[in-house]
Amino acid sequence: MYADPMLINPGNSSITDPSHLADTDDYKITEGSPVIDSGLDLNSNFNLNTGNKDYFGNTIQQGMNFDYGIYQHIDKQIISFDTGWNIMSSNLLPANQDIKSFFQSLIDNNSLVKVQDENGNSLEYLSFLGVWNNSIGDMLLTDGYKVKVSADDMIEICGPTVKFPYEIPLKTGWNIISFPQTTVFNGKDVVQQLIDKDVLVKVQDEDGNSIEYLSFLGEWNNSIVDFLPGKGYKVKVSADDTLWIYNSYPKSGAIKSELITTNHFQPAFEGNG
């Protein structure tokens, strides 16, 4: 089966200096190319180490989908923040995973107040030292992060996407998970695997909406409705387990319950649960 790889400018450059080979766009691919995420993992399948960069110097990172050819397509994600507290996550892994580097544009815009992970570690400005202190370390694609901003803002991330199914480990109690998808899916469909194993206690989004079992109704109520790319979610489980993020989920007819009134709250997000 043949398909147009949708190259930018195939075979039309003229180069006399070999040192500029990597600068040519001839064999880079465009958005929507059928070769994106269609390649083989040569290391896993044939024990061939192809290195960690493509021909053009783009980083090829563990856990990503591979492309055919000499160019590894780099995806882009824009994550928006509303004034106050947000819970965010990314579906792309940037080349520099240091959490301060990840949020540097918000620091430069003077809009970032604080970032906090599920363990209470933070990125925040220490006025008595005059520096931003990062006790989180590196960003993890499995994790969501609480982010407080003083004004509406956004960040743009470039990097490779993850391969599905994607494994998110959960510890007993509260976790803040990522949703490393590019597509909206019904939240209950995503966590149904935990319900089936009788370990899910509650899921909560940044607005206080939840997925939880209502004993007086004898059913699970989903006032979150959909899990959204770029958002993170608080998940409480009764035992250590794993949440698998899949490429797709069954269609759900679930709609926001009109029978249950959700008491929204203003999250403080200073603790671990």
Taking only the tens place, the pLDDT of each residue in 94-110 is 888 999 999 999 999 99
Over the chain, what HEC string results?
Answer: CCCCCCECCCCCCCCCCHHHHHHCCCCCECCCCCCCCCCCCHHHHHCCCCCCECCCCCECCCCECCCCCCCCCCEEEEEEECCEEEEECCCECCCCCEHHHHCHHHHHCCCEEEEECCCCCEEEEECCCCEEEECCCECCCCECEEEEECCCEEEEEEECEECCCEEEEECCEEEEECCCCCCCEEHHHHHHHHHHCCCEEEEECCCCCEEEEECCCCEEEECCCEECCCECEEEEECCCEEEEECCCCCCCCCCCCCCCCCCCCCCCCCCCC
Q: What is the predicted pLDDT for the residue at 4?
A: 75
**List of the chain residues with pLDDT < 70:** 1-2, 5-9, 11-46, 48-74, 251-273
Q: What is the pLDDT of residue 253?
A: 44
Residue 273: what pLDDT? 44
For position 162, what pLDDT does the model report?
86
Instruction: Note the pTM of the prediction, 2 decimals.
Output: 0.71
**What is the pLDDT at residue 202?**
98
- Looking at residue 17, its pLDDT comes to 65
